[in-house]
C-alpha cells in the first residue's frame, strides 16, 4: 500500500503543476496578442524614419554629413554589444539562445584581438555572463511593453556616450556597437539576430528613390534625426524581444502541460496495475487460508 500512496501523491503533484503551466500558457496567449500588435505597429514608423535618414545622407556631401554617429574608425580595437534577454525563465530556449550567441560573439572577437564591452539588458544575460566570467560594463532590467521607451532611451544614451567617447560618463570608449536580440517572425519562430547599431547605417533598400527638399537644411535635420532613428531601431528590437519572450513562454508552457497530461496518464495506469496486483494478492491469501482450514 505504501507504493500506491506514493503514486497517488505523484499524481496529485503533477496535476497541481499542470494547473500552473496551463494558467501560464493562457496568460501568455493573452499577452502575446498585445505584444505582437505592438511589434508589428512599430515597424512602419521605423522603416519610414530610416528611409528619411537615408534620403538625408544621400542629399548632402560626404564632408558635410560627418556626424559623430556616422564616423567609422580607422581601426577597431573595442566593440560594444547590447544583449537583450528576459528577467525570468520558463520560456524555452529564449534566453539560452541569446546567451550562447553572446558567448560565441565574445569568443570570436577576442580571437580577432578585439575587446568586447557588454551592456546586459535582462537579469538572465547578466547572471549567465557573470557565471561564464565575462565582464559586464552596464546592466538594465528587461523591457516590458510599458517600459520599452524608457529602457531604450537609457541604453541608447550609454551606447552614444561610449561610441562618441564622452568622458563625463565614466564609460569606456568603443569603435562600434552591435545589438543581439530575438527577432519575432511568428509564434513558432524567433530568430537570434545580431544588428549593427553604430556607426549608424540605414538599412539596405530603404532609400525612397526621390530627391526631396528638406528644411531648414539636411545637415541640421540629420543631426536631430540620427539619435531618433537609433532609438527607434533599439525600440523595435525590444518590441520583437518582448513578443519573442512571450511566444516562447507560451510554447514552453503548452509543451509542459502536454507532458504533464501524458505523465498523469502513465501514473494512473501504473496505479491501477499496482492496485489490481494488491487486490489479487489479498484474494489469493484469502483463498489460501480457506483451503488450509479444510
- Cβ-based neighbours of 233, under 8 Å, separated by 6 or more: 46, 50, 179, 195, 197
Is 91 designated active site? yes
DSSP state of 61: -
Q: At what angle do helices 218-293 and 2-58 cross, to 10 degrees?
A: 170
| Closest by Cα among 126, 103, 128 to 116 | 103
The Cα–Cα gap between 150 and 64 comes to: 32
Cα 7 to the center of its chain, rounded Å: 39
* 51-to-36, 44, 282 alpha-carbon distances in Å: 23, 10, 82
Catalytic one of 42, 91, 134, 237: 91
* C-alpha to C-alpha distances, 106 to 119, 152, 155, 178, 198, nearest whole angstrom: 13, 23, 20, 12, 17
The DSSP code for 89 is -
- Interaxial angle between packed helices 94-111 and 218-293, expressed in degrees from 0 to 180 and rounded to the nearest 10: 130
Show which residues are catalytic: 91
Amino acid at each position: 500500500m505504501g507504493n500506491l500512496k506514493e503514486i497517488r501523491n505523484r499524481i496529485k503533484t503533477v496535476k497541481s503543476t499542470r494547473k500552473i503551466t496551463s494558467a501560464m500558457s493562457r496568460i501568455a496567449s493573452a499577452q502575446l496578442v498585445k505584444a505582437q500588435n505592438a511589434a508589428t505597429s512599430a515597424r512602419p514608423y521605423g522603416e519610414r524614419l530610416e528611409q528619411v535618414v537615408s534620403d538625408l545622407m544621400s542629399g548632402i556631401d560626404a564632408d558635410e554629413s560627418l556626424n559623430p554617429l556616422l564616423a567609422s574608425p580607422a581601426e577597431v580595437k573595442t566593440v560594444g554589444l547590447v544583449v537583450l534577454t528576459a528577467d525570468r525563465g520558463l520560456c524555452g530556449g529564449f534566453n539560452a539562445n541569446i546567451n550562447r550567441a553572446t558567448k560565441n560573439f565574445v569568443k570570436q572577437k577576442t580571437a580577432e584581438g578585439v575587446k568586447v564591452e557588454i551592456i546586459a539588458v535582462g537579469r538572465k544575460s547578466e547572471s549567465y555572463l557573470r557565471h561564464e566570467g565575462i565582464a559586464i560594463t552596464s546592466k538594465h532590467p528587461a523591457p516590458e511593453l510599458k517600459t520599452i521607451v524608457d529602457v531604450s532611451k537609457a541604453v541608447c544614451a550609454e551606447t552614444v556616450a561610449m561610441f562618441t567617447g564622452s568622458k563625463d560618463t565614466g564609460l569606456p570608449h568603443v569603435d562600434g556597437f552591435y545589438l543581439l536580440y530575438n527577432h519575432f517572425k511568428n509564434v513558432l519562430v524567433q530568430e537570434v539576430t545580431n544588428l549593427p547599431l553604430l556607426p549608424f547605417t540605414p538599412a539596405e533598400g530603404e532609400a525612397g528613390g526621390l530627391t526631396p527638399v528638406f528644411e531648414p537644411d539636411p545637415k541640421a535635420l540629420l543631426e536631430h534625426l540620427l539619435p531618433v532613428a537609433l532609438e527607434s531601431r533599439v525600440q523595435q528590437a525590444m518590441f520583437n524581444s518582448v513578443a519573442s519572450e512571450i511566444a516562447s513562454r507560451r510554447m514552453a508552457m503548452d509543451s509542459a502541460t502536454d507532458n504533464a497530461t501524458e505523465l498523469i496518464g502513465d501514473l494512473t495506469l501504473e496505479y491501477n496495475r499496482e492496485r489490481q496486483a494488491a487486490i489479487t494478492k489479498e484474494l489469493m491469501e484469502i483463498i489460501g487460508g480457506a483451503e488450509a482450514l479444510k
